[in-house]
Structure 1
Amino acid sequence: MTSAETKQELTEEFSGIKYILTSKMRSKLLLSLYKHPKKLEELRNELKKPSATILHGLKELETINLVKKFQKSYELTSNGFLLSTNMIKLIENWNSVNKNKTFWNSHDISQLPEDLLKNIYLLKDAEYVNSTTTNLSNAFNTYINLISNTKNLDIILPIYSENHLKYFIELLRKDKLDSLNLIINKKY
């Protein structure tokens, strides 16, 4: 496939994504039907919109094979379910990045594995902790407190420090960790 063909294909795919994401109603319908099928009345109560507006959105989604009507309920097709799953992942990734803008803008992410970057939503409950001039050990003390109370530890060390590794070794020697996954830069 030539780069022109690839560009055309991406442009067409982007148009489809844009079609879904630029309509609050289409997006809300997909998200609403994600867990289970619903009747029009349930959708109307949940979305607080008139039947005509909801039916119009459902018809648009039916036309592109993302929603189907079965008896008196509306449900996602397989395509609709897959698209909604990825739409949720996109929203969660967006929220995770937005929540920790300061962290992401002040760190080089070029060495992080691509799979991790695609699943940044997994860090949605992460908290950015840093040290200040009045409390130089805040980040390190928080780190020690967090790893001291865990059984399974997956951690990225942005820097190599003997003090960080000392605590891993201590937890391992005391048999307090069931598992340890350490992600480090290849240079270390």
Structure 2
Amino acid sequence: MKETSPLEIYNEYHDDVQAIFRSRLLTQVLLALGSGSKPLSTLREVTGSSSQALIPKIRQLEALHYVESARGEYALTPIGRIVEPKIERAVTLMGTVQHHREFWIEHEIEGIPPKLLNEIEHLYNTEMVKDVEENIFAVYTVFQTILRKASWIHGVSSIMSPVHVDAIKEAAISSTPIEIVVSEELAKRLTSQYEAVLETLSRPENFKLYVYPSPIRLGMTVTDEYISLGLYRRDTGKYDASTDLVGTDAAAVSWGERLFQHYKADSRPLKIS
């Protein structure tokens, strides 16, 4: 049997699909009930609408068997509990793209592995930090703050500057556990340009360096509390050291740790003589 494409499914059921996304109230009620049953008074409050406006929409959701009334409150049906998380994810994903629209449009996103790219909605609660004329060291200042507050540090990078090396060295000397995955090209530069520093860092057990066999097209630092993500610019093909997404949200930090583990899994330890 031929596999049915999403477009064919949409063409057949577009009325049902559009019934949800066409109406602000239908979507809001579903999203509100995703966290549990609620009385009409709460739905009025979260949607900012009157009972006269809400009740017909609730009846419509009941007719679709997404919502049911139970003990004076409204709740998702078993089918509604299947549908609502998918709507919630689509809304969060679109919100993330729009919230950081400038960042995603101006930068290469291909360096993020497809599985993690498919989860970028976890980065909604991050903020874009950018070097500006009034603060030309904004990104680096945040980087220093992240390292100094960290209980542990995990990083992925294909670029490194003397100031970054100094900041990492300072954190390593303070006994903070550090693991960094670098590209092969960067590993060669580090071993030639920063041989003395690497020799110093290799002595304590808390510092580990790994080499990823393929090019890395991003820069990311994640700690127990922070994530900082930088990408390459689409117009120049060069790493944009002046702009990062930074956040402390637990979901964003967890996303960053999964990104680090993705790169570490296929990397080899760099032995420093």
Q: Which one-letter code corresponds to 2:57 in the other structure?
A: G
List aligned pairs for 1:126-145, cutoff 5 A.
126-132=126-132, 136-145=136-145
Q: Which one-letter code corresponds to 1:116 in the other structure?
A: L
List aligned pairs for 1:5-154, cutoff 5 A.
5-6=4-5, 7-12=7-12, 15-132=15-132, 136-153=136-153
Aligned to 1:161: 160
Q: Which runs of 5+ in 1 are unaligned?
A: none
Name the TM-score, length of structure 2 as normaliser: 0.55
Alpha-carbon distance change, 129 to 69 in structure 1, aligned in 2, over 3 angstroms: same
Q: Is the 8 A contact 2:10 2:17 kept in 1?
A: no
List aligned pairs for 1:174-185, cutoff 5 A.
174-177=174-177
Aligned to 1:187: 215
Aligned pair count? 185
**Greater strand share, structure number:** 2
Q: CA RMSD in A?
A: 3.2
**Whole-angstrom distance in 1 between the partners of 2:10 and 2:20:** 16
Give the CA deviation at 1:8. Answer: 0.8
**Whole-angstrom distance in 1 between the partners of 2:154 and 2:22:** 37
Q: Deviations over 1:123-157 (max 9, x none)?
A: 22322223346765432332222232122545554
Percent identical residues:
18
Q: Which one-letter code corresponds to 1:125 in the other structure?
A: N
**Greater helix share, structure number:** 1
Q: Which runs of 5+ in 2 are unaligned?
A: 184-211, 217-273
Aligned to 2:222: none
Question: SS of 2:126's equivalent?
Answer: coil
Name the TM-score, length of structure 1 as normaliser: 0.75
Specify which structure has the bigger relative contact order, considering alpha-carbon pairs within 8 angstroms and separated by 6 or more residues: 2
